[in-house]
Amino acid sequence: MITLDNITKTYNKGTVLAVKDISFEVKPGELFGLIGPDGAGKTTLFRILTTLLLADKGRAMVNGFDVVKDYTKIRNSVGYMPGRFSLYQDLTIEENLHFFATVFGTTIKENYALIKDIYQQIEPFKDRRAGKLSGGMKQKLALCCALIHKPAVLFLDEPTTGVDVVSRKEFWEMLARLKAEGITILVSTPYMDEAKLCDRIALIQKGTILSVDNPADIVQSFPGDLYAVQAANTHLLLREARAYEGTETCFAFGDALHVTFRSGVADGLLAHLKTRGLDDATMEKITPGIEDCFIHLLKN
Ligand SMILES: Nc1ncnc2c1ncn2[C@@H]1O[C@H](COP(=O)(O)OP(=O)(O)OP(=O)(O)O)[C@@H](O)[C@H]1O
């Protein structure tokens, strides 16, 4: 449904490399996640795929259409929810939706079934201006507007950034329902915990893809054992754990350190920490998350 073939894009007359030789595919009906930090190149890829930006090099196809030659066909068959709220702040909820339906030559009534579950949550406020809505409500309205012409492919650029935890959860439940309707979804997020909700993910950093796979297999491919190490004096703990000769990687995750060892398994770190005054240090083997895998891939 989406194919990228060696896509490269630079800005500022070639001085800023945004994405480099990006290739991956999204299958029909897939919920595919583009996971990476700010500046990784996610928005650039979305803009290329939605025909708003030309790549310097490479080829991309969406729904069987070439992003350069067939751009009008792509615009008619995809929905795009950009990262920044892009609806008309002075129009009400209903007016925004009506506007987007009209632009695509359809009506709210015609495709109401597709947006019903989402729209019903904001319908009580349909006369409120978009600029006066909460973050979660804006996000629901933007999704309705991106869906109103019943697109085959939905592009969602960081839809949950800056949205509260409850709304984030609800949003992913909505995506699961849209996927069940057969819509192919490409969604980007900087939140690693959302990665596991996708069928497959691409981990992207500094314009390069580090890995493409399903979340379980990415976690499975983590080499060696991972340990969570804790002590009350987190500052000293980090310094000493990093200085220890057997330590391979050591990163702070909340109030614990995630540590791997050169030998692949836990060795004398705990004894070392105790000699350094960290008597309360504890260590337990844990299952790596996507974020651990991301950090591991960055290292290589
Ligand atoms: N119009 C532009 N002019 C110059 N550089 C740009 C432009 N747009 C993006 N960049 C740069 O290209 C790189 C990729 O940016 P992009 O916006 O695609 O990343 P992103 O993963 O979407 O991150 P963010 O969430 O911060 O937008 C970054 O280094 C960014 O500074």
Q: How high is the pLDDT of residue 168? A: 87
Contact 226, 287 (CB under 8 A): yes
Report which residue type is found at 224. Answer: G
Same domain, yes or no: 54 and 198: yes
Cα–Cα dist 39/33, whole Å: 16
- In this structure, the answer to whether residues 22 and 134 fall within a common structural domain is yes
Are 59 and 204 contained in the same domain?
yes
Identify any residues that bridge with 31 across adjacent strands, giving them in sequence order. Answer: 185
Ligand 1 atom nearest residue 16's Cα: 5
Q: Are residues 133 and 76 in the same domain?
A: yes
Instruction: With 0.80 as the threshold, say if the pTM is over it.
Output: yes
- Are 15 and 56 in contact, with CB atoms under 8 Å apart? no
Residue 242 identity: R
Q: Residue 235 is part of a domain; what is its CATH number?
A: 3.30.70.100
Residue spans of the chain under pLDDT 70:
300
Q: Which of 11, 49, 155, 158 to mutate to test the pocket of ligand 1 (most atoms within 8 A of CB)?
A: 11
Number of domains comprising the chain: 2
Question: Where among 170, 191, 219 does a domain terminate?
Answer: 219
Distance (Å) from CA 152 to ligand 1 centroid: 27
Rounded to whole angstroms, what are the CA distances from 185 to 32, 79, 152, 155, 262? 6, 9, 9, 6, 40
Compute the Cα dihedral for 160, 63, 76, 29 and give only its sign.
negative
Alpha-carbon distance of 235 to 257, in angstroms, equals 11
Q: What are 225's two structure tokens? A: 């054992």
Shared domain for 85 and 179, answered yes or no, is: yes
Three-state DSSP class for 7?
Answer: strand
Single-letter amino acid, residue 109:
K
Give the pLDDT confidence score for residue 192 in this predicted structure: 85
Q: State whether 92 and 46 are in the same domain.
A: yes
Same domain, 211 and 244: no
12, 13, 42: residue to mutate for ligand 1 pocket, most atoms within 8 A of CB: 42
Shared domain for 236 and 287, answered yes or no, is: yes
Q: Token pair 């979305």 is at which residue?
A: 46
The ipTM, to two decimals, is: 0.95
Q: Is 16 in the pocket of ligand 1 (CB under 6 A)?
A: yes
Residues 208 and 139 in one domain: yes
Same domain, 151 and 211: yes
pLDDT at 175: 93
Q: How far is CA 233 from CA 96, 147, 251, 256, in A?
A: 53, 50, 15, 11
**Ligand 1 centroid, distance to 39 Cα (angstroms):** 5
End of a domain among 186, 219, 252? Answer: 219
Q: Where are the alpha helices (DSSP H) in the chain?
A: 42-49, 71-77, 93-103, 112-122, 135-147, 165-180, 215-220, 234-243, 269-275, 290-299
pLDDT score recorded for residue 59: 97
Residue where one domain finishes, among candidates 219, 239, 266? 219
Is the beta carbon of 189 within 6 A of some atom in ligand 1?
no
CATH of the domain at 42: 3.40.50.300
Integer Cα distance of 79 and 100 in angstroms:
11
Residues 187 and 232 in one domain: no
The single residue listed with the structure tokens 């996640």 is 33
pLDDT tens-digit readout, 210-240: 999 999 999 998 988 999 999 999 999 999 9
Looking at residue 300, its pLDDT comes to 65
Pick from 176, 106, 184, 189: nearest CA to 145: 106
**Domain range for 270:** 223-299
> Is 65 within 8 Å of 74 (Cβ atoms)?
yes
Q: Tell me if 144 sits within 8 A of 136, measured CB to CB.
A: no
212 and 229 assigned to the same domain: no
How far, in Å, CA of 22 to CA of 49, rounded?
12
